[in-house]
Chains A and B, each alone.
Chain A
Amino acid sequence: MSVIVFAGAAQFAAVGYVASGLPWPGIILLTFLLNARHLLYSAALAPWLRSVPFTRRVVMAHVLTDEAFALTISHFRRLGQRDEWGYWVAAIAVTFIPWNLATMAGVAIGAQIPDPARLGIDIIFPAAMVGLAVGLITGRRELVAAIVGAGIAVAVALVSSPSVGIVAGGVVGPLVGLLVPRAVAHETAPLGTAASAEHYSMPGIHVEPDGSVDPPEGSDR
Chain B
Amino acid sequence: MTTNLVVLAILMFAVTYPSRAIGLLTPGFDMLPKIVFDYLQLVGPAVLAALAAVSVMVVVSHDDVPSFHIGIEWVAVFACLAIVARKGNLFLGLVAAVAIVAIARAAGLAAIPT
Expressed in whole angstroms, the minimum distance between the Cβ of A1 and any Cβ of chain B is 4
Dominant secondary structure of chain B at its interface with chain A: helix
| Count class of interface residues, chain B | 35 or more
Q: Is the CB of A36 within 8 A of B9?
A: no
In the assembly, what is the distance between CA of A141 and CA of B94, in Å? 26
Encode contact with A along B36-68: 1 for CB under 8 Å, 0 otherwise: 011111111111111111111110100010111
Residues of A within 8 A of B29 (CB): 42-43, 46
Partner of A178, one of B15, B35, B52, B84: B35
Q: Is the CB of B50 within 8 A of A123?
A: no
Q: Is the CB of A127 within 8 A of B93?
A: yes
Who on chain A is nearest to B21 by CB? Answer: A61
Who on chain B is nearest to A115 by CB? Answer: B112
Dominant secondary structure of chain A at its interface with chain B: helix
Query: Known contacts A157-B58, A174-B46; is A45 also within 8 Å of B39 by CB?
Result: no
Who on chain A is nearest to B1 by CB? Answer: A1
Q: Is the CB of B53 within 8 A of A120?
A: no
Q: Known pairs A39-B20, A158-B67, A178-B35. 4 more at Cβ < 8 A?
A: A40-B40, A41-B20, A120-B98, A150-B52
> What are 14 sample pairs from A and B whose C-beta atoms fall under 8 A apart?
A34-B43, A36-B43, A37-B19, A37-B44, A40-B23, A42-B23, A58-B25, A61-B20, A127-B94, A128-B90, A137-B45, A154-B57, A165-B58, A177-B42
